[in-house]
Amino acid sequence: MTKESALSGFNRMRSKLSFGRMVEMAAKMGMENPLFRCHERAAKGTTVIDGKEYINFSTYDYLDINTHPEITRAVTEAATLYGTSAGASRLVGGERPPHRKLEKDIADFYGVEDCIAFVSGHATNVSTLGFMFGHRDGIFHDGLAHNSLLQGARLSGATRISYEHNDCDALEALLAEKRAGFRHAIIVTEGLFSMDGNVPDLPRLIELKKKYDCLLLVDEAHSLGVLGATGHGAREYFGIDPKDVDMWMSTLSKTLCGCGGFIAGSRDLIEFLKYGSSGFVFSVGMPPVIAAACDKALEILLREPERVRKLQDISQYFLHYAKDKGLDTGASQGYAVIPVIIGNSWVTGFLSQLLFKRGIYVMPISFPAVKEGAARLRFFISAAHTEDMVRKTLDAVVEEIPNAQAIVDKYQSEHTDVLNI
């Protein structure tokens, strides 16, 4: 028997994700691949692809700060002084003043003692959970927690326990049953859920973490700059003591217009991570120019809270207009992330394509990113969007849903051997 070649082994591995089947089926049905389109300028409320302008609902620039001239100046000055690379891990030669200033300003923003900035947002969660917990510990995470949180939990070797999304009663039942069996335990949630656009019951989670002697991590990737009257996130939204959350995590790639992530919390926690977390210790430091950009974006957020109000107003307008049109927005509470749930993955894909032809750029989200039968268009709302953009977009969605459905129905009727499309 001949030994399996490396290539055939890779092809078998690749089939686990069914990329080939999905791409082949979509092409047969006439669906263009919506992924990796090249944007030819900063993607804000509008974007340009192949020379054409589109209304854009696939940007994390929630507060319309990206390309702000003050950020451009800060980046230019930092690049002139420090170059574009930290040059090494921050422990051994990559530390620069912009890193320290950014971390101090974030800690002050959250009202906690210290902060650590990682070069990657995804790696922030992976490295933190992977380093801090082990096989004798338990990680209780929301059923819709982000992939980075799940990967960090897997890396740790701790027992992973998923509770029903946003169901604190279900979480308490699990804690009552299982918490005593672990050395350490942590509850993990998001400040604003990235697929559904809803907010957890953070006061209840704090109550449970105290009652059952757990740590609490809140991933604020989508809630920083979005929730609260001045954009201070979930702690301002609920009016809680920031020290009641052990780890405030967020990315730097959304409201703060850069790249990377951070953990903010107690001084002892941050020192522990700085000397031990693999994603920090063994990674090159964040480019100083990125740290400077994020810090300037934070300054603008603090100085111009009207951007937060504008985002919240247009998000609520979108949510209510969509509901008035009879569209299913799921559990979204109208804060920057609003899905329009279609159900069938193929219909959702064709709907995105039809909207693209009408000058509207919004991405389809389907299984395995969401549950089978819960495919949706995911709209990221920005302070750059206008009511006219919202009306034009949602009117087009309503008009094109039956057209997308008709494409799928026609293909299915002509190909009766093809199931589950």
pLDDT digits (tens, 9 = 90+) for 307-354: 999 999 999 999 999 999 999 999 999 999 999 999 999 999 999 999
Over 80: is that where the pLDDT of 16 sits? no
Tell me what the mean pLDDT of segment 153-166 comes to.
97
- Locate the domains of the chain by residue range: 25-56+306-414, 69-303
What's the mean per-residue pLDDT of the chain?
93
Pairwise pLDDT comparison (317 vs 16), residue with the higher score = 317
Catalytic residue chosen out of the listed positions 141, 222, 232, 385: 222
What region, left, alpha or beta, does residue 102 occupy, with left being phi > 0 and alpha being psi -120 to 50 degrees? alpha
Distance from the Cα of residue 303 to its chain's centroid: 25
Span 368-404, pLDDT tens digits = 778 889 999 999 999 999 999 999 999 999 999 999 9
Pick the CATH number of 69-303 from 3.60.15.10, 3.10.290.10, 3.40.640.10, 3.40.50.300: 3.40.640.10
Are 25-56+306-414 and 69-303 equal in CATH topology? no
Instruction: Indicate if the pLDDT at residue 418 is higher than 60.
Output: no
Which residues, 6+ apart, have CB-to-CB distance to 360 below 8 Å? 54, 55, 57, 392, 393, 396
Query: Mean pLDDT lowest for which of 13-27, 119-133, 378-392?
Result: 13-27
Burial bucket for residue 357 (CB in 10 Å: 0-12, 13-18, 19+): exposed
Give the model's pLDDT for residue 3. 54
Separation of alpha carbons 21 and 18, rounded Å: 5
222 noted as active-site residue: yes
**Residue 140's closest CA among 156, 157, 160, 170?**
160
Phi, psi of 376, rounded to the nearest 5 degrees: -150, 160
| CA atoms 408, 410, 413, 416: torsion sign | negative
Query: Is the per-residue pLDDT at 13 higher than 60?
Result: no
Mode of pairing for the β-strands spanning 337-343 and 138-142: unpaired
Residue 419 clears pLDDT 50, i.e. is over it: no
pLDDT in tens, 242-289: 999 999 999 999 999 999 999 999 999 999 999 999 999 999 999 999
Q: Is the pLDDT of residue 420 over 80?
A: no
**Predicted confidence band at 26 (pLDDT cuts at 50, 70, 90)?**
confident
pLDDT band for position 1 (cuts 50, 70, 90): very low
Q: Of these residues, 148, 194, 332, 366, which one is catalytic?
A: 194
Catalytic residue among 122, 141, 209, 254: 254
Report the percent of the chain where pLDDT is more than 70. 93
What CATH number was assigned to the domain covering residues 25-56+306-414? 3.90.1150.10
pLDDT at residue 254 in the model: 96
Is the pLDDT at 132 greater than 80, yes or no? yes
**Residue 336: closest CA among 148, 146, 193, 201:** 193
- Tens-digit pLDDT profile for residues 161-170: 999 999 999 9
Q: What is the per-residue pLDDT for 29? A: 78
Residues 6+ apart with CB under 8 A from 63: 225, 231, 255, 300, 301, 307, 308, 311, 382, 383
Mean pLDDT, residues 33-62: 94
Does 135 participate in catalysis according to the annotation? no
The whole-angstrom distance between residue 141's C-alpha and the CA centroid of its chain comes to 16
254 is catalytic: yes
Overall pTM surpassing 0.75 (yes/no): yes
